[in-house]
Structure 1
Amino acid sequence: MKRDSLAFWGKLTIVLASLVFAIMLLVGGTLAANYKGLGNLIKVVTLVKSQYLFEIAPEQIVEGAIKGVVESLDDPYSTYLDKKTFSALQEQIRGSFGGIGVLVGVKGHYLTVVKPFPNTPAAEKDIRAGDMITAIDNKPAKDMDTETAVNLMRGPVGTSVELTILREGRKDPFPVQLTREEISVPTVEGKMVPKEDHMGYIMISQFTENTGDEVVKTLVDLKGQGMKGLVLDLRDNPGGELNSAIKIVDQFLDEGPIVHIDFRIGRDHTFNAEPDKLNMPLVVLVNKGSASASEILAGAIKDAGVGTLVGTKTFGKGIVQTVFPLDSGAGLKLTTARYLTPKKNDIHKKGVAPDVVIDQEVTAQEDKQLDTALRILREKMAS
C-alpha cells in the first residue's frame, strides 16, 4: 500500500512538471519569465509529500491546486465546482433539483425569503415571506450572495439542511430543520390583474432552460383572456440561463440588438431580435436583487424604449460565465465575456437604473412598486 502511494506521488510530481512545461509552451515568454514560481509549485508538492506531519491524499493536492488557480483570478463568479456542486448547478439550469422550495433575495445585509413555494419542505415548515436567513447549517449568511446560499440549501433528496431564521415579531433567531425533496418549481407565474381592465401580470423568479417557453405560453394564455397591457416583474430574480432571457426579450422587440456579448479574444457576438413583436404597453419591475439575465432583459427593454422600468437600480452583474465539464464529474465555471446592452452600455458593477425610482420597504404592507407600475400601465393604455 505504501509502495503504491509512493508511486502515485512520483507520478503526480512528473505530471506537475509536465504541466509546467506545457503551460510555458502555451503561454510563452510571459510565464517563462516566472519559471521560478512554477518550479515552486513542484517544490511545494514535494515538501508536502516528504515533510508534512499528516497523511494527505494526492487527489486532494491536485484539487487544491486547481482551486488555487481559479481563486487567483480574484473573480467571485469564476469557481471550481466539485462533483456535488457541479451536479447541483446542472439541476438548477434544468429547473429540477433537490432542495427546500424557497425563493430568496438580498435585503440589506441578509438573505430574505421572497416566497416559499406551495407543497414544498419550506411551506410545510412554515417558512414565510420576509423571514431573514441568518445562517445555513450554522454558516453565517450575512452578506452571503444568493448563488452561494442556493448551493448550500440544495443537495441530494433526503438529506437535511438547517436554516436559522430571524422573523419580525420574534426577538431571537430560531432554527428550522428541513429535509430536501425533489423540487420542480415553475419559474413563471401569470395572471390577469383583478379589478383592472385588460391588464396582465407576469412574474419570473429565475431563468432556466424552460423559462422562455413558459413565458411565451403565459403570454398566449393572457392574450386569450383579453390582455392589452403587461407588468413584467423581475424583482429578486438572480438570473440564470442566457438563451431564455434572449427569447423573452425577442417577444417585445421587433428589430435591432438584444444584447452584445463581448469576448476578450475577437469572437464578439450580437443577438438580434426577429420581427413580429408583442405590441402592447409594458412596465417592468426591477430592484437590487434583479441580476444577470434579468438585467439583460431589463437593459434591452430600456434601451429599445419599448417599456418603462420601475423600482430601484439592479444588481450590476454584466459578465457571462461558461460552465466547462471536467473529469470525475467536476466542473469549472469561468467568466468568459461581458455583455453590453443594445446601446453598448456596460452595466457591470453599475446596474440598470429604472426610469421611475420607487423604494420598497421589506416590511411594508403595500407593494408601492407594483402600485406605481399599474398606475403607469393604466396611463399608457389610456393614451
Structure 2
Amino acid sequence: MVNFRKKVHCIFICVLTLTLTLTSITYANEDFKKFNNLDERLAYLKGIIQYIEKNYDGKVTEEELMEGAYKGVFKVLDPHSNYFEKDEYNQFQIDSIGAYGGIGATISVKAGKLIIVGFMENSPAKRAGLKEEDIIESINDEVVSKYNSKEGIDLLLGHPGTKVKLGIKRKGQESIQYFYVQREIIKINPVQFKVIDDHIGYIRIDEFNQNASENVKKSLEELKAKNIKGIILDLRGNLGGLLQEGVKVADEFIPKGPVVHINYKNKKRKTLYAEKEKINIPLVVLVNRLTASASEIVAGAIQDTKSGIIVGTKTYGKGTVQQTTPITNGGGIKLTIAEYLTPNERSINGIGIQPDVLVKNNLVVSKEVIGCFVSMIEDKKFSLGERGLNVYGAQQRLKLLGYEKVEATSILDGVTLNALKDFQKINGLEETGVLDLKTRDKINERMQDLSSGKLKDLQLEKAIEILKE
C-alpha cells in the first residue's frame, strides 16, 4: 500500500510539473483552442519559441526553431507537400530541372582524394585538357585535403560562366599542373537506350527531369534508324518528376488527343493534349509498384489510348500535382494543388494503374537496369549527411531491392541510413547505417546474383515475347 501511494504521489507531482510548465507558456485565462485568428496563434508560437530559448538545455538557434516550425506546417498536409531549407531546395532544383553549373566531370573519392573518372557529353573539363585519373589537389588555390568529400565536390559547382582553377596531379608527372575550367550548364540525362534481343528497342527513363522528353525523342530517332521491330519503355522505379515532361514523352507514343486532365482546387479542369501522330511501332511499357506520378501519366495515357501494352505489377498510385515555389530565405515550398485523371477520366490516386498483363518478377531489377546504374568505385565509407557516387549508386540499388522510400540524391540521408541498417541486418553485417566497403560489396553481390541468370527478369522476358508475337 505504501509503495502504491508513493507511485500515485510521484505521478501527481509529474502531472503538476507538466501542467505548470505548459501554463507558463500560455496566456492567462486563454486556451489555445479558443484562438480565433492567425495573429493570436502566431503570438502563441512566438511565446513557445521564447520559452524554449530561455529554458532548453541544449544548443539551438532561433533560426533552427523557425525552420522546424515551417516544416511542421507541411507535415499536417499530404506526404507530397514539403518545405525545403536553402540547401535542400537547391538540390531539389538540380534533381527536378536536371541541370547545374559545373565542369562536367564525374568525380570519385579514393583515400580522401578527388579523382576524375569520367566526363559528361561535351564536357568543359575535358575541353580544358583534363583527363581521366587526374587527381584534383587544389580548387581555386584551396588544398582539397582540408575539406571532406562533399565540400570538395561542392567547390566545383558554381554559376555558369565563372571559372574555377584546378591544381592537377597527373599520373607519370611529378609537378602540379594548373587548369582553368569555365563552368557551364551541365544537363543530366535520365534516359538510357539500346537495342536488345533481335532488333527490339529498349528505353529506360529514370526520372522526368527537364531533359527527359528531349532525350526520349533522340533515343527514338536513333532506334528507328536501326529498323527496330518493337519498343520496350521501362518506367519501373521511376517515381515521376515534371508534369510537362511526362506529357511530352506520352506525346511520342499516343495519337492526338488528351494526355491528362488536371482538376485544380476551385478552378475549371485543364486538359493537356498530345499533338503528334502516334508512333507506328509496337510498344510495351514495363511498370511496377515504384512507377509513380508522371510515370503513371505516361502509362495511363498509353493504356487508355490502346497505344501499347502495360506489363508488370500495379503502379504506386500518386495522382496529384505539386507546385514548387521559391521563397525569400532561399528555400522553397512544394504544395499539392490538383488531382490528375487519365484520358478516360480515371482517378488513380491511391489506386494505381493495373497492368494489361500482370507479371510478378522474381527480382525487382533487370540486367538492362543494372547496366544503367552508377558504379560504386569510391574507396571510402560514407556516413549520415555525406555525399558521393557510392551513395547515389547504393540508393539506386536499394530502392529497387524493395526499399521504396529511398531516393537517389547522392546524399546519405536518414531514410537511406535506415535502409542500410535493414540491409546490413538481413545480410549479416554490423548494423551501422554507414555505407562502408563491406556493405558496398554486399550490395554489388546482390546485384550480381540478380544479373547472373540465377533469377530471370520475367517482366522483361514477357515484353520481348509480346513484341516477337
Same topology, TM > 0.5: yes
**Among 140, 145, 153, the residue aligned to 1:158:** 153
State the Cα RMSD in Å: 3.1
Query: Does 1:247 pair with 2:251?
Result: no
1:225-276 CA-to-partner distances (Å, cap 9, x unmatched) read 1124211111111211221111111112222210111111214311011142
Give the deviation of 1:292 after TM superposition.
1.2
Once residues 275 and 261 of structure 2 are traced to their aligned partners in structure 1, the CA distance between those partners, rounded to angstroms, is: 15
Q: Residue 336 of structure 2 aligns with which residue?
A: 335
Query: Does 1:77 pair with 2:80?
Result: yes
Give the deviation of 1:46 after TM superposition.
4.1
Once residues 265 and 200 of structure 1 are traced to their aligned partners in structure 2, the CA distance between those partners, rounded to angstroms, is: 44
**Among 363, 369, 375, the residue aligned to 2:459:** 369
C-alpha contact (below 8 Å) 2:303/2:309 kept by paired residues = yes
C-alpha contact (below 8 Å) 1:93/1:208 kept by paired residues = yes
Q: Residue 324 of structure 1 aligns with which residue?
A: 325
Give the deviation of 1:301 after TM superposition.
0.5
* Greater RCO structure (CA 8 Å; 6+ sep): 1
Once residues 222 and 60 of structure 2 are traced to their aligned partners in structure 1, the CA distance between those partners, rounded to angstroms, is: 59
C-alpha contact (below 8 Å) 2:255/2:305 kept by paired residues = no
Once residues 50 and 259 of structure 1 are traced to their aligned partners in structure 2, the CA distance between those partners, rounded to angstroms, is: 53
Structure 2 residue ranges without an equivalent (≥5) = 1-33, 107-116, 119-148, 155-184, 364-449
Secondary structure of 2:352's aligned partner: coil
Once residues 151 and 291 of structure 2 are traced to their aligned partners in structure 1, the CA distance between those partners, rounded to angstroms, is: 28
Give the deviation of 1:156 after TM superposition.
5.7
User: Which AA in structure 2 matches 1:335?
Assistant: T
Give the deviation of 1:62 after TM superposition.
2.4
Give the deviation of 1:183 after TM superposition.
9.0
Once residues 265 and 331 of structure 2 are traced to their aligned partners in structure 1, the CA distance between those partners, rounded to angstroms, is: 25
Alpha-carbon spacing, 1:272–1:157, altered in 2? closer, same or farther (3 Å): farther
The answer to which of 89-98 and 63-72 deviates more is: 89-98
User: Which AA in structure 2 matches 1:365?
Assistant: L
1:342-382 CA-to-partner distances (Å, cap 9, x unmatched) read 11111112111100011112245321111110111122xxx
Give the deviation of 1:299 after TM superposition.
0.7
Q: Residue 306 of structure 2 aligns with which residue?
A: 305
Give the deviation of 1:42 after TM superposition.
3.6
Query: Does 1:68 pair with 2:158?
Result: no
Once residues 352 and 312 of structure 1 are traced to their aligned partners in structure 2, the CA distance between those partners, rounded to angstroms, is: 9
Query: Does 1:58 pair with 2:59?
Result: no
Give the deviation of 1:207 after TM superposition.
1.2
User: Which AA in structure 2 matches 1:253?
Assistant: I
User: Which AA in structure 2 matches 1:45?
Assistant: I
Once residues 232 and 216 of structure 1 are traced to their aligned partners in structure 2, the CA distance between those partners, rounded to angstroms, is: 13
Q: Residue 279 of structure 1 aligns with which residue?
A: 280
The answer to which of 260-269 and 367-376 deviates more is: 260-269
Once residues 459 and 46 of structure 2 are traced to their aligned partners in structure 1, the CA distance between those partners, rounded to angstroms, is: 58
User: Which AA in structure 2 matches 1:158?
Assistant: I
Alpha-carbon spacing, 1:301–1:65, altered in 2? closer, same or farther (3 Å): same
The answer to which of 52-61 and 299-308 deviates more is: 52-61
C-alpha contact (below 8 Å) 1:200/1:222 kept by paired residues = yes
Query: Does 1:95 pair with 2:98?
Result: yes
Task: Give percent identity, aligned residues only.
Answer: 40
Give the deviation of 1:329 after TM superposition.
1.3
Q: TM (normalized to structure 2)?
A: 0.54
Structure 1 residue ranges without an equivalent (≥5) = 1-29, 102-118, 121-153, 160-181
Once residues 248 and 466 of structure 2 are traced to their aligned partners in structure 1, the CA distance between those partners, rounded to angstroms, is: 25
C-alpha contact (below 8 Å) 1:88/1:155 kept by paired residues = no
Alignment length (residue pairs) = 277
Alpha-carbon spacing, 1:156–1:341, altered in 2? closer, same or farther (3 Å): farther
Q: Residue 234 of structure 1 aligns with which residue?
A: 235
Alpha-carbon spacing, 1:31–1:214, altered in 2? closer, same or farther (3 Å): farther
Once residues 156 and 377 of structure 1 are traced to their aligned partners in structure 2, the CA distance between those partners, rounded to angstroms, is: 48
C-alpha contact (below 8 Å) 2:84/2:331 kept by paired residues = yes
Q: TM (normalized to structure 1)?
A: 0.65
Query: Does 1:217 pair with 2:307?
Result: no
User: Which AA in structure 2 matches 1:63?
Assistant: E
Alignment of 1:138-153 (within 5 A): none
Q: Residue 260 of structure 2 aligns with which residue?
A: 259
C-alpha contact (below 8 Å) 2:49/2:62 kept by paired residues = no
Would you tell me which structure has more strand in proportion to its own residues? Answer: 1
Secondary structure of 2:334's aligned partner: strand
C-alpha contact (below 8 Å) 1:253/1:274 kept by paired residues = no
Secondary structure of 2:153's aligned partner: coil
Once residues 374 and 304 of structure 1 are traced to their aligned partners in structure 2, the CA distance between those partners, rounded to angstroms, is: 21
1:117-152 CA-to-partner distances (Å, cap 9, x unmatched) read xx57xxxxxxxxxxxxxxxxxxxxxxxxxxxxxxxx
User: Which AA in structure 2 matches 1:318?
Assistant: G
C-alpha contact (below 8 Å) 2:286/2:459 kept by paired residues = yes
C-alpha contact (below 8 Å) 2:35/2:41 kept by paired residues = no
C-alpha contact (below 8 Å) 1:264/1:337 kept by paired residues = yes
The answer to which of 84-93 and 35-44 deviates more is: 35-44
Give the deviation of 1:55 after TM superposition.
6.3
Secondary structure of 2:329's aligned partner: helix
Once residues 315 and 55 of structure 2 are traced to their aligned partners in structure 1, the CA distance between those partners, rounded to angstroms, is: 51
Once residues 99 and 150 of structure 2 are traced to their aligned partners in structure 1, the CA distance between those partners, rounded to angstroms, is: 12
Query: Does 1:47 pair with 2:137?
Result: no
Secondary structure of 1:32's aligned partner: coil
Once residues 305 and 322 of structure 2 are traced to their aligned partners in structure 1, the CA distance between those partners, rounded to angstroms, is: 25
User: Which AA in structure 2 matches 1:32?
Assistant: N
Once residues 192 and 204 of structure 1 are traced to their aligned partners in structure 2, the CA distance between those partners, rounded to angstroms, is: 15
**Among 192, 195, 198, the residue aligned to 1:192:** 195
Give the deviation of 1:191 after TM superposition.
2.0
| Structure with max Cα Rg | 2
1:153-186 CA-to-partner distances (Å, cap 9, x unmatched) read x966637xxxxxxxxxxxxxxxxxxxxxx99653
Alignment of 1:172-183 (within 5 A): none
Alignment of 1:108-147 (within 5 A): none
User: Which AA in structure 2 matches 1:59?
Assistant: E
